[in-house]
Amino acid sequence: MRLDIVSIFPEFFSVLDLSLIGKANADGLLNLHVTNLRDYATDRHRTVDDTPLGGGAGMVMKPDVWGKALDEIFPEATLGDGERHVLIVPTPSGETFTQRIAEDLAGADHLVFACGRYEGIDFRVAQHYAERGVEVRELSIGDYVLNGGEVATVVMIEAIGRLLPGVIGNPDSLVEESHGSAGLLEYPVYTRPVNWRGQEVNPVLLSGDHAAIARLRRDQALEKTLRRRPDMIQALRPDQLDSDDRSLLARLGWCVGENGVRPLEIRELESGDVDRLHALAIRTFPDACPPFLSHEDIQQHLDTVLSPQSIHSWIDNPHVRVIGAFLPQNSAAPEGDHGGEASSDTGDGRTQAEQTAHGEQLVGYALVVGPRADGPIAEKCPKQLSDEHCSWAHLSKVYIDQKWRGSGIAAALIAVSADMASQMGATSLWTATSTANKRAAKSYKRAGMTKKGGRTYTVGTTTCRDVVMQMTLSSASPQ
């Protein structure tokens, strides 16, 4: 790649000799030329500016001087050679320079940086060279004003030049760094000593487990990006995010849908949420049932265990936590699921507008029964667990709207449920899921629960087989 810089301060760019760009230029990986604009002025004072036409403050750089300089850099024969020639004008009124633009410009054959000063370069210069077939880009490195384009040019050359083959010794660093192809800010980095002023690095970094290290760094990059640049999180494509990414983002308040990443709220439900929870419960339970259950058995379960009265009793019970996952109204369904109509049928006989009357839609829920709960809701701890010296909480239910499976919401609800169980004084959390529901068992396992055996469970008049799973809670905070 050839790089040309035109400026009234050519000595400013000696700083590039101190960086990898200077080494790349010396090694022939790029071809850098700096031109003094004043060499093309015609008067004895080497004047390059004049007062603005129409009046106003400051001075404007003259088009005739710029034309002479750029004509030498862009001779007529050059513009028909089939190569990509780009004239870059640094200006605070330009398009914001980003890593994606740097990657695009790194693929050009010839870049020319026109460093303006004062009030800028006569606009006809950019127009003229665009008409001649030069690609003209007006670019800004930020929402602030500098005295000239030189600093911005150095920034852009550093960003573009390091992407050229051979300039960076380890090309993998281009993937992992902030704003790289991963679309995230870079994870925190550490070196020796391991303990510095009372601060120790995460022991995973010392474990030699490359998969665990990669996961830790990925999690840290996601958290850092979410904290500092949530706009970058929203720009991620769903196919860039694996199940662990989705689980972490959901725990941090973001849900991955078919059309991108969107805000998610997980909170305890209140009495005003009963109708929405009932609608979700009767929609999701049949979908999770084994195929041999009859419609009558399922309906009996819906009419008793999942009735509005039962849900009210959950919410009113001080030893029970009912946790809901909510999406904003304008994010409530993946594109196409409801035809784009706010009043479309949601599948439970009610419209989406009715579902989102509070400006949000309930898309998942979990039910945690604490150690002190009694009555019908307090299911007996399975015999394979009851002999263990633990204070048990029961993760009775975790259900997600079918449209949002794979979004990470289930993992987030399980994590919040574990925290709630700990706050209620439990030291272990158990759950049970149908042996036919492999998807649910996999979600529980991924969340840290282990299989402990089985049990029977009755739906309507039919006896079903469940897998019993358990996790030990990190700490308990008895109420």
pLDDT tens for 156-167 read 999 999 999 999
Give yes or no: residues 277 and 143 share one domain. no
Residue 432: phi and psi, rounded to 5, are -145, 140
pLDDT given at position 293: 94
Which domain-ending residue is among 124, 145, 169?
169
pLDDT given at position 86: 97
Q: Is residue 333 part of a domain?
A: yes
Closest CA to 1 of 158, 135, 107: 107
Q: Is residue 258 part of a domain?
A: no
Give yes or no: residues 293 and 161 share one domain. no
Q: Is residue 83 part of a domain?
A: yes
Instruction: Check which CATH number belongs to the domain holding 120 and give it.
Output: 3.40.1280.10
Residue with tokens 């880009």: 137
10 Å Cβ neighbour count for 130? Answer: 12
Q: Is residue 133 part of a domain?
A: yes
- Rounded to an integer, the average pLDDT of 120-126 is 96
The proportion of the chain whose per-residue pLDDT surpasses 90, expressed as a percent, equals 79
Provide the number of structural domains found in the chain: 2
Tell me if the pTM is above 0.85: no
Before 478, cis peptide (omega within 30)? no
Q: Give one DSSP letter per residue of 170-233, joined into a string.
A: -TTHHHHSTTSTT-SPPPP---S-SEETTEE--GGGGS--HHHHHHHHHHHHHHHHHHH-HHHH
Higher local confidence (pLDDT), 476 or 139: 139
Query: In which domain, by residue range, is 340 found?
Result: 273-472
Q: Is residue 124 part of a domain?
A: yes
Give yes or no: residues 163 and 31 share one domain. yes
Partners of residue 450 on adjacent β-strands: 470
Residues 6+ apart with CB under 8 A from 245: 218, 222, 256, 408
Mean pLDDT of the chain: 89
pLDDT given at position 390: 83
Q: Is residue 61 part of a domain?
A: yes
The proportion of the chain whose per-residue pLDDT surpasses 70, expressed as a percent, equals 89
pLDDT given at position 320: 97
Which domain-ending residue is among 149, 169, 189?
169
Q: Is residue 254 part of a domain?
A: no
What's the number of CA atoms in the CB half-sphere (13 Å) around residue 216?
16
Give yes or no: residues 164 and 281 share one domain. no
Contact 412, 250 (CB under 8 A): yes
Which domain-ending residue is among 133, 152, 169?
169
Residue 248 has pLDDT above 80, yes or no: yes
Q: Is residue 456 part of a domain?
A: yes
pLDDT given at position 353: 38
Instruction: Check which CATH number belongs to the domain holding 455 and give it.
Output: 3.40.630.30
- In order of 61, 63, 70, the CA distances from 51 in angstroms are 9, 12, 22
363-384 confidence digits (pLDDT tens):
999 999 999 999 889 998 888 8
Give yes or no: residues 153 and 302 share one domain. no
Give yes or no: residues 160 and 308 share one domain. no
What's the number of CA atoms in the CB half-sphere (13 Å) around residue 96?
5
